[in-house]
A = this chain, B = another copy of it.
């Protein structure tokens, strides 16, 4: 490859499409808040246990510190001091800028009011930003605004149309609200109206409008399928309020079988520790794609192992990049850095072992890092 860039150079410079991400926090955070934002857990650890002493903590010190002008492996205290001196806005711009992401598909449905939204992310990152709309958030807004049970199916479809007029895709968090082992058949209209009636009575009575009833969750999913936009599913690990047993993508088998001819791309997010199962599904079903987002950065120095395991059964056209970063620009940065390093190391091993050419390896990197997402979401 005389003269051309190496695999590593290509991967380092790849303008990434982060197809599943949240906004960054606009304001400053103190040390305790930073620690909590650094973990998917919702509690601080016991004495002697700190997220700083974890793969992602080490990765912040290794890869974010230099972006803020510190030495690699700077101490947590030094890092936080420097972050405070710079201020959140500068830190956001530096870390997002250095990540080399060119396009974000932002899931605005989780505590989105605390974060930069689509416009804010556009401004702070200078990237193309499009929205991913959560099916459940649209239903909950509808319930809060007042709707009758009998009209719920139609009103939900209208609300979904409105909410997604400018969206790039949809997302279901049925994994959190129930589990992926939901009944794969579409619910009957009668059942949906009945379930909506019960739910809306509770909401009208002052309850939090949180959808968790499986008939309703299924109704939203099938309305999403009808809507025709790419449909993401949370799969595998995430916040503590899920039962990981029920987040194995293999539970989706029946649903994927029933939607295989619908021309709706299904995107399985995260998947760890079930990412090989997701690879099987992506290899089996033409309309299924997957990523190992979130896990890549939480695995830190082990990102290459996770990435490599995602490059087994599935065609390379079926694997995507995402960070699933939320709040801290460090996470947005590390999502990209850990993926780049993991991908470059994995592909380099293939080339060094004589299993594939460097030209092909570069092509795989471009596909996973950007091209596959552009094709699935934007048809190009």
Contact = CB atoms under 8 A, between A and B. Distances in A.
A286 B357 CA distance: 44
Can you tell how many copies of this chain the complex includes?
3
A240 interface: yes
A221 interface: no
A12 interface: no
Interface of A: 39-41, 43-51, 53-55, 57-59, 62, 72-73, 237, 240, 243-245, 248, 250-251, 253-254, 260, 265, 272-273, 276-277, 280, 283-287, 295, 298-302, 305-306, 308-309, 311-318, 341, 345, 349-350, 353-357, 359-360, 363-364, 367, 371-372, 375
Contacts of A317: 45, 48-50, 53
Contact of A280 (B273, B287, B311): B273
Contacts of A265: 46
Given A312-B306, A316-B53, A237 B301 contact: no
A298 B73 CA distance: 35
A283 B56 CA distance: 12
B312 A55 contact: yes
A229 B19 CA distance: 46
Nearest to A315: B54
Given A240-B284, A315-B54, A317-B50, A73 B306 contact: no
Given A55-B312, A314-B54, A350 B253 contact: no
Contacts of A316: 53-54
A10 B371 CA distance: 42
A355 B254 CA distance: 41
